Structure 1
Amino acid sequence: MLRSDVSAGPARTSPHDHGAAAPTATRDGDVPSDEGDLVRLLTPAGTRLDRPEHDPWVADVDDDALLALYEDMVVVRRFDTEAVALQRQGQLGLWPPLNGQEAAQVGSARALRANDFVFGSYRENGVAYCRGATPTDLVRVWRGTTQSGWDPRDLNMATPQIVVGAQALHATGYALGCRLDGVDSAVVAYFGDGATSQGDVHEAMVFAASGGAPVVFFCQNNQWAISEPVDLQTRTPIATRAAGYGFPGVRVDGNDVLAVLAVTRAALDRARRGEGPTLVEAVTYRMGPHTTSDDPTRYADPAVREHWTARDPVTRVERLLRARGALDDEGARAVAGRADAFAQAMRDGCYALTPPPSDTLFDHVLVEPTAWLERQRREHAAYRAMLEGDAS
């Protein structure tokens, strides 16, 4: 079964050894034809590759553990589809789809220990699910009934960060706190390829390198910063930037859940041993829109989408499980049924959410209310009373 305390010895520390150098992506969002620089343990056809450097990190992943990873990805894809439908039906204000990125999120999240901490962007709903978020937790913010979806202390995961790249700074600060406290917790900061153009991400990496922070910078390179292709902002693979900060960078097949699990475990182990940060670039593809307000048909090449469909993260694990005799049609239906149940719970939870009283807007602004905050509360109450008077 899958364990969170696996150690395969020292992680490699040279960016070059991790295969960071590689040709850039093409302008239509495709991956390079030469994928030899990517860490890969499972081919798109579902063939398990022998990789002596990385195999020890997933030596505990037996058929049951692999089946659990498969179910995670099926559930994540199913509730992501449900959330898009809820938004289209006017039940959510917005939703950031993650279709195609299930392996990157599930593989990395399942590498974490319970006492590790996560700082994500707005798209890491698959990570939140793995950290224990309920179906309703995942839609609270997007329903507009709260300013945060869950208590970060319950999941050891911060609530969704809308400001692009800001969570990298928060992760670095938290990681430095872990180091000062003398605990072996590690931190993961998730962001997309577009966020690497933000100063916050650069500053976080500089500070993390200087302080030896136990943080893993996990970039899901889904090829698009909204509608701009990744090579518009970088002429070399994102992982190569780590060398400039003085810590390792590794590129991994982001559609290979085993490879992502292995690479993330190695990076977390390195962080816990006091060797500082690692930059992981999970090369994947965003199969849907940036958010439900986006139309990718205006900029994404359908042929490229077909290319990535053939590299589907869920399908390749299903092929391996079926080849091993660990999954049959009945088992697949059972997994799909559990995914449907989670999606139905999300829909039911969404419908049950009601707007909070408007004056709660002022409740958690400051630990101790100030005179100007109380004045705003009174003015708001007076305004509401005026509106209610007009309505009568």
Structure 2
Amino acid sequence: MTRVSDYLSQLIAFDTVSSRSNEGISDLVAAWLQELDFDVERTSYRDSRGVLKCNLVARRGPEMNASGVGDSGRHRADKRSGLAYFCHTDTVPADRWTGPGHNPFIATVEGTRIYGRGACDMKGSLAAMLTSVSQVDPALQTSPLWFVCTADEEVGFEGARHLTEHSACYGQIAAADPPCIIGEPTGLRVIHAHKGIVGFRVVSAGRAAHSSTNTGVNANVAMVPMLQTLLEINERCQTDLVLRNGMFDPPTLTWNFGVSDGMDALNIVPDHCAAWVSFRTMPGVDGSELLAQVQQRAVELGLTFQLFPGGEPMQTPADAACVRDLCELAKPFIGENRSEAVCYATDACVLNGLTQRMVCGPGEIAQAHTVNEFIEVDQLEKGVQLYESAIRHWCV
């Protein structure tokens, strides 16, 4: 078994579905990073259900002073500020797993693929970066390398949000503002922009009663006109050119909504009804006027409006030096290429203090979150090589 495959097998063995703690995998990754000469900062928090979650920020390489001289005495003639790599250690649930081996937390090799929950999204990327780091002599580094692992990316970027607010080491990254690689699966293509996400809920309260009486208040009655408003906004999102950004496919906010009163008996007047909405924001199209419209309608109908924490879209200019450099580094592995914009979101949504954010990692997004998630071994190995090239380019 190769080093990267061994790393990945050990990472998959941890059940880090977002509803559970990621403490165990964080302990192991921290130990590995310390063995690779990183200084590791750990910050922890309890999620809304009281479950312990952990973030790691590790740093290796010379300290830089204001004159651009490292503690090794060597000048940074190119004024490079190093490289920061970001990943998350949580995964989506695996309750309906159908992959080989029938256990999503045991890495299974079949043909050219490694199966397991998180193999693609994104423990494969984490394993690739660990391997590439192990192949670069820290004594050769002239600029720092940061290695960041967050919790709860799959449930609203909560780990990254906590990191930006409570990690002193993250503050150092923000101050240095180095090129940043978010290692989500892209097939090693370079992503310079992606959409953000907004979500909210509207709640109607009634009074339960037997449906044969007139003493109840049906919560659905007040919700119906709200649903009409949501439908009208949905139609506008699909047709209004002002609400489009041609960088993306689809170029719309992809307004998505649903409703439920939770009732499973026909003879009870529903006393609760909730509608939910999520949509994908884009640079220059934040949907704020749509939110205001819904909030105003909720007030008129006597409904409760609740906005959920979301994330802003990410955009680094396609012609930025860091983007051009990473595209050039990727050329041996994917051929001639240019950076792209995608419609999904990553932790980059809340890493707004950083101006050189890019998404690039092994594996295809089409395999993420599937019931038989896998990563191609070839992608994994090319990911190691690309990440090593990036470290040598920006840190050595």
Which of the five TM-score ranges fits, normalised by the shorter chain?
Answer: under 0.3
Richer in strand (by share): 2
Under a length normalisation based on structure 2, what TM-score does the superposition of the two structures give? Answer: 0.22
| Structure possessing the higher radius of gyration over alpha carbons | 2
Under a length normalisation based on structure 1, what TM-score does the superposition of the two structures give? Answer: 0.22
